[in-house]
Amino acid sequence: MANSDGLRDQLAAFDRKSPSVLTEAAAAHGSGKAYFNELVVLSTDENDAISSGATWLIKHHAENDQLLTPDQCVKLAGRLTGLTTWDAQLHICQSARLLPFPDDVADHLLAFARPLLASPRPFLRAWSLDLLCYLAERDHGISAEAEAALAYAEKDPAASVRARARNLRKARR
């Protein structure tokens, strides 16, 4: 396994569009606990390309059943306020359902999702809504909040947000 500086350097070359450099980084640096720990740390790097690349890899691995451990998810949840790039935020919103976040970090996820519901970026609005609805599935105490957010999203000017709201509404039935 290559060192973490090598992973950081490869992520720094990410143009935030083409994921080929990221899949090459994953192939070069492998998997396992140290690799995923490094991705968690790099998720809040001050270099936007590194942050975006690390969260893209977390999402990519989650979609391919290579998950962070619950302990790593706790660490990631504790870092969510440090995610400042829209694409890094999006990656976490999109992968939250796939990751084994323990119940005791739901408040971190909720605090992360709430402000994104009003993001100027439609995909962030759509996927933060998805995260909020997922949290409501786990904690019925926030069902009313999720329902209100769904109703609001159904009137969103962006078709992508309305479509996500429709799909979430269907899934809730």
Instruction: Say how many C-beta atoms besides its own lie within 10 A of residue 87's C-beta.
Output: 20
Q: What is the pLDDT of residues 114-158, one digit of tens each?
A: 999 999 999 999 999 999 999 999 999 999 999 999 999 999 999
Same domain, 148 and 170: yes
Look at residues 68, 101, 134 and tell me which one is the last residue of a structural domain: 101
Q: Which of 39, 70, 101 finishes a domain?
A: 101
Are 89 and 113 members of one domain? no
113 and 87 in a common domain: no
Same domain, residue pair 85 and 5: yes
Within 13 Å of residue 140, how many CA atoms lie on the same side as its CB?
1
Residue 89 has pLDDT above 60, yes or no: yes
Domain shared by 70 and 129, yes or no = no
What is the domain extent for residue 134? Answer: 104-173
Tell me: do 85 and 148 sit in the same domain. no
Query: According to the model, what pLDDT value does residue 4 have?
Result: 66
pLDDT-based confidence at 1, cuts 50/70/90? Answer: very low
User: From the DSSP assignment, how many helices (H) and strands (E) are in the chain?
Assistant: 10, 0
Contacts of 46-49 with C-beta under 8 Å, sequence gap 24+, read 47/11, 47/12, 48/16, 48/84, 48/85, 48/88, 49/11, 49/12, 49/13, 49/14, 49/15, 49/16
Question: Which of 142, 68, 56, 146 has its CA nearest to residue 93?
Answer: 56
Domain shared by 11 and 92, yes or no: yes
Domain closes at, from 41, 73, 101: 101
Model confidence pLDDT, tens digit, residues 52-73? 999 999 999 999 999 899 999 9
Cα radius of gyration rounded to whole Å, the chain: 16
Both 54 and 85 in one domain: the answer is yes
Domains contained in the chain, number: 2
pTM for the model stands at 0.94
Confidence of residue 173 (pLDDT cuts 50, 70, 90): confident
Q: What is the pLDDT of residues 18-35, one digit of tens each?
A: 899 999 999 999 777 899
Same domain (yes/no): 138, 55: no
